[in-house]
Amino acid sequence: METPLFPRESGQFIAERSRDVFVEDDGVQKVAEMLYALRHSDDLTASGWKKANPLAPPPTSDQALNWVFVVDTMNFSFWPEKETQQCEVTFKGTTYTGYMTLCAAITRAMEEGIPITNPKYFSQMSVEELGHILRSDNETPMPMLHERHQVLTEGGRVLLEHGGSFRSFVSQAGNNARKMVELIVEKIPSYRDEAVYEGKRISFYKRAQILVADFWGIMEARGQGDILNMDWLTMFADYRVPQALVYLGVLRYSDTLMQALKKGELLGSGDQREVEIRGCSIWSVELIKDRLCKLVQERDGQTCIVNSAVIDFYLWPYAKQHHKEMAHIPIHHTRCIYY
297 within 8 A of 226, measured Cβ to Cβ: no
Question: Whole-angstrom Cα distance, residue 104 to residue 97?
Answer: 9
Question: Whole-angstrom Cα distance, residue 76 to residue 101?
Answer: 12
Question: Whole-angstrom Cα distance, residue 323 to residue 329?
Answer: 9
Catalytic residue check, 20: no
The sign one gets for the Cα dihedral 234, 282, 42, 68 is negative
Please name the residue ranges forming H helices in the chain.
Answer: 7-15, 25-37, 47-52, 63-73, 99-111, 119-122, 127-133, 145-161, 166-170, 177-187, 206-221, 240-247, 255-262, 272-295, 308-321
Identify the active-site residue in 20, 193, 214, 238: 238
Question: Whole-angstrom Cα distance, residue 67 to residue 47?
Answer: 17
- List CB contacts of 127: < 8 A, sequence separation 6 or more: 145, 146, 149
Q: Closest Cα to residue 20, out of 204, 222, 246?
A: 246
Cα of 25 vs its chain's centroid, Å = 24
Q: Which amino acid is present at 154?
A: E
Residue 190: strand pairing partners: none
286 within 8 A of 234, measured Cβ to Cβ: yes
Query: Residue 219 phi/psi, 5° resolution?
Result: -65, -35
Catalytic residue numbers, as ranges: 238
